[in-house]
Amino acid sequence: MNLSEKRIMVTGGHGFLGRYVVAELKEKGAENIFLPRHSDYDLTQIDDVIRAYKDSEPDVVIHLAAKVGGIGINREKPGEFFYDNLMMGVQLMEQARQFGVDKFVTIGTICAYPKFTPIPFKEEYLWDGYPEETNAPYGLAKKMLLVQGDAYRQQYDFNAIYLLPVNLYGPGDNFNPASSHVIPALIKKCIDALEQGDDQIVAWGSGSPSREFLYVADAARAIVMATEKYNKPDPVNIGAGMEITIKDLLQLIAELCGFQGEIVWDTSKPDGQPRRSLDTSFAQQEFGFKALTDFREGLRRTIDWYIAHRDEL
């Protein structure tokens, strides 16, 4: 698919990942890109979804918009996370079909995998159990879009693809402590402690779970490569092929931030899924994607960005 010739709607295009995807699309020569703002289009409402399609007349839809956050906000708002993510995706895909869209790119979530999944996660393990409880409503809402895409491909010959990115990080991430994911939350803790002269920080859980992290610019490159080249029903893992425990992650972030105080683990707080690490060979096989950004370097860029911009956040 030559993206320079296509009209492309990117939902969530003003968000953290969206800004990188739009930049990558422009690198590929795409000029006709429509970014529906939430203030103008509430994509949980069918009338706004229809209006977005009428206003943009897209050939391609890349659906990034999501209500998303860390363990805390997932536990606080499971109903909102289920309803909003399901309604946005289901209605966007249905209207894409009705408006004759050539290709629909769904960004799923690693949270769709079962709580106890063998490491590394392979795409065929996706249906082998129930997701981890704290983020199951979000994970299952996004997982239903894989089912919808498969059903539409069978009945309507509709080209919907489904990508499963791991946790993202990078400059421009969400550092709001009420809703941030683990990397920005830990960076903020370390920088705040340094500025306030605190000699300890408190982190959630035991530190024993593991996670995989993908630099946001690499994720954007993967999404655009899949949009160009991938047209199969099978879901595709998008990751860096690495694994690090939360304890080691925090020690690395503390080192890069210059925090040398004590780390206290609050084991009354949940750990979330025990381990997360992806088998990323299918993405490389199908459309040549491989993550390029060194994790330590990516963290350093993220920390530098936060220090430079935290007064604006």
Q: Is residue 310 part of a domain?
A: no
Q: Is residue 299 part of a domain?
A: no
Q: Is residue 189 part of a domain?
A: no
pTM, rounded to two decimals = 0.95
Q: What is the pLDDT at residue 69?
A: 82
Q: Which two tokens stand for residue 197?
A: 């002269």
Q: Compute the average pLDDT of residues 287-299.
A: 98
Is the pLDDT at 72 greater than 90? The verdict is: no
Q: Is residue 70 part of a domain?
A: yes
Please say whether the beta carbons of 143 and 163 come within 8 A.
no
Is the pLDDT at 129 greater than 90? The verdict is: yes
Q: Which two tokens stand for residue 233?
A: 């029903």
Domain region containing 93: 3-172+212-243+275-293
Domain count of the chain? Answer: 1
Q: Is residue 252 part of a domain?
A: no
Q: Is residue 168 part of a domain?
A: yes
What strand order describes the sheet that includes 32-34? 32-34, 7-11, 60-63, 103-107, 160-165, 236-238
Q: Does the annotation count 83 as an active-site position?
A: no
Q: What is the pLDDT at residue 23?
A: 98
- Model pLDDT for residues 165-214, shown as the tens digit of each residue: 999 999 999 999 888 889 999 999 999 999 999 999 999 999 999 999 99
Q: Is residue 202 part of a domain?
A: no
Q: What is the pLDDT at residue 272?
A: 87
Please say whether the beta carbons of 216 and 240 come within 8 A.
no
- Model pLDDT for residues 89-123, shown as the tens digit of each residue: 999 999 999 999 999 999 999 999 999 999 999 99
Q: Is residue 288 part of a domain?
A: yes
Considering the candidates 20, 53, 113, 138, report the single residue annotated as catalytic: 138
CATH number of the domain to which 160 belongs = 3.40.50.720
Beta strands in the chain (DSSP E): 7-11, 32-34, 60-63, 103-107, 160-165, 167-169, 200-204, 210-211, 213-215, 236-238, 244-245, 262-266
State the number of CA atoms in the 13 A half-sphere of 66 facing the CB. 23
Is the pLDDT at 295 greater than 90? The verdict is: yes
